[in-house]
Structure 1
Amino acid sequence: MARSTGKTLNSVQDDAAQGFIFVPLGGTGEIGMNFNLYGCDGAWMAVDCGIGFAGPDMPETEILLPDPAFIVAQRDALLGIVVTHVHEDHIGGIARLWPQLRCPVYATPFAAAVIRRKLNEAGLTREVKLNIISSGGAFVLGPFQLRYLAMTHSTPESQALAITTRYGTVLHTGDWKFDPSPIVGGVSDEAGLKALGDAGVLAIVSDSTNATVEGHSGSELDVKKSLEGLIMDLPGRVAVTCFASNVARVAAVIEAGVTAGRHIALIGRSLGNYIAAAQESGYLTDAPDFIPEKAIGSIPDDNLLLLVTGSQGEPRAALARIAADTHPHAVLGEGDTVIFSSRVIPGNERSIATVRDGLAKRGVNVITDDDEFTHVSGHPARDELRKLYRLVRPRYVIPTHGTWRHLSTHAALAEEEGIATVLVENGDVLQFGPGSPAIVDTVPTGRLAVDGERIVPLKGGIMANRRRMLFNGAVIGSFALDGAGKLCGMPKVSAPGLLDDEDSRLRHEVESEFRDMLGKLHAEFRKNEADYITAAKAGLRKIIGRHFGKRPLVEVHAIQI
Structure 2
Amino acid sequence: MSVEVKGDLNPEEGLVFVPLGGAGEIGMNLNLYGYNDQWIMVDLGVTFKDECGVQVVAPDPKFIEENKDNLLALILTHAHEDHVGAVPYLWSRLRCPIYATPFTMEIVKNKLTEAGLMGQVELHTVPLGGKIEVGDFKVEYVHLAHSIPEPNGLLIETPLGRIFHTGDWKIDPHPVVGREMDIPALKKIGDMGVLAMVCDSTNVFEEGNAGSEQDVRNALIELVKKQKNRVVITCFASNVARLDSCVAAAKESGRFVVFVGRSMETMIEAATVTKYFTKIPHRISIDKASELPRDQVLYVCTGSQGETKAALKRIASNSYPNIRLDKGDSVIFSSRKIPGNETKITEVKNDLVRNGVAILNHKESLIHVSGHPCRDDLRMMYDWIRPQISVPVHGEYQHLMEHARFAKEECGIAKVITPQNGSFVVLGPNEPQIVERVHSGYLGYDGHDMIDMDGSIIRDRHKLSVSGVVLASLNWDPKTKVILDVQVSSRGVVEVGQDAASFEQILAEKIYDSLKKGTQSSPHKMEEEVRLLIRRHISRLRGIKPLVIIHNHD
Q: TM-score when scaled to structure 2? A: 0.92
Partner of 1:451: 446
Partner of 2:384: 391
User: Cα offset for 1:102?
Assistant: 1.3
| Change over 3 Å in CA distance of 1:490–1:414 after alignment to 2 | closer
**Matched residue of 1:315: which SS?**
coil
Q: Report the residue type matching 1:493 in the other structure.
A: S
- Give runs of aligned pairs for residues 377-526 of structure 1, distance below 5 A: 377-415=370-408, 416-420=410-414, 421-478=416-473, 491=487, 493-495=489-491, 497-501=492-496, 503-522=497-516
User: Cα offset for 1:528?
Assistant: 7.2
Distance, in Å, in 1 between the alignment partners of 2:220 and 2:515 is: 72
Count of aligned residue pairs for this structure pair: 547
In 1, are the aligned partners of 2:207 and 2:375 still within 8 Å (CA)? yes
Partner of 1:308: 301
Offset from partner CA, 1:251-292 (integer Å, 9 cap, x none)? 211221232222222222111111111111111113236433
Distance, in Å, in 2 between the alignment partners of 1:509 and 1:471 is: 19
| Change over 3 Å in CA distance of 1:236–1:289 after alignment to 2 | closer
User: Cα offset for 1:10?
Assistant: 5.9
1:236 is aligned, of 229, 233, 242, to 229
Partner of 2:104: 111
Distance, in Å, in 1 between the alignment partners of 2:460 and 2:58 is: 19
Offset from partner CA, 1:393-427 (integer Å, 9 cap, x none)? 22222111112222222223322222222222221
The farther-off stretch of 33-42 and 266-275 is: 266-275
| Change over 3 Å in CA distance of 1:185–1:545 after alignment to 2 | same
Distance, in Å, in 2 between the alignment partners of 1:324 and 1:382 is: 40
Distance, in Å, in 2 between the alignment partners of 1:498 and 1:271 is: 43
User: Cα offset for 1:363?
Assistant: 1.8
User: Cα offset for 1:476?
Assistant: 3.4
Quick check: 1:23 aligned with 2:7? no
The farther-off stretch of 136-145 and 344-353 is: 344-353
1:42 is aligned, of 30, 37, 53, to 37
| Change over 3 Å in CA distance of 1:216–1:516 after alignment to 2 | closer
Partner of 2:254: 261
Quick check: 1:221 aligned with 2:218? no
The farther-off stretch of 512-521 and 104-113 is: 512-521
**Matched residue of 1:248: which SS?**
helix
- Structure 2: any 5+ residue segments left out of the alignment? 1-5
- Structure 1: any 5+ residue segments left out of the alignment? 1-8
1:66 is aligned, of 34, 55, 59, to 59
Distance, in Å, in 2 between the alignment partners of 1:204 and 1:392 is: 8
The farther-off stretch of 351-360 and 379-388 is: 351-360
Q: Report the residue type matching 1:491 in the other structure.
A: Q
Offset from partner CA, 1:278-311 (integer Å, 9 cap, x none)? 1111111132364334554223222222211121
Distance, in Å, in 1 between the alignment partners of 2:36 and 2:413 is: 27
Distance, in Å, in 2 between the alignment partners of 1:462 and 1:190 is: 49
Distance, in Å, in 1 between the alignment partners of 2:471 and 2:355 is: 40
Aligned-residue RMSD, C-alpha:
2.5
- Give runs of aligned pairs for residues 40-439 of structure 1, distance below 5 A: 40-54=35-49, 58=51, 61-288=54-281, 290-415=283-408, 416-420=410-414, 421-439=416-434
The farther-off stretch of 123-132 and 411-420 is: 411-420
**Matched residue of 2:26: which SS?**
coil
The farther-off stretch of 178-187 and 262-271 is: 262-271
Offset from partner CA, 1:491-518 (integer Å, 9 cap, x none)? 35241x33444x3134223223313422
In 2, are the aligned partners of 1:510 and 1:543 still within 8 Å (CA)? no
The farther-off stretch of 172-181 and 261-270 is: 261-270
Q: Percent identity?
A: 40
Distance, in Å, in 1 between the alignment partners of 2:171 and 2:459 is: 44
Partner of 1:544: 538
Partner of 1:6: none
Offset from partner CA, 1:148-180 (integer Å, 9 cap, x none)? 011111111111000000111010011111211
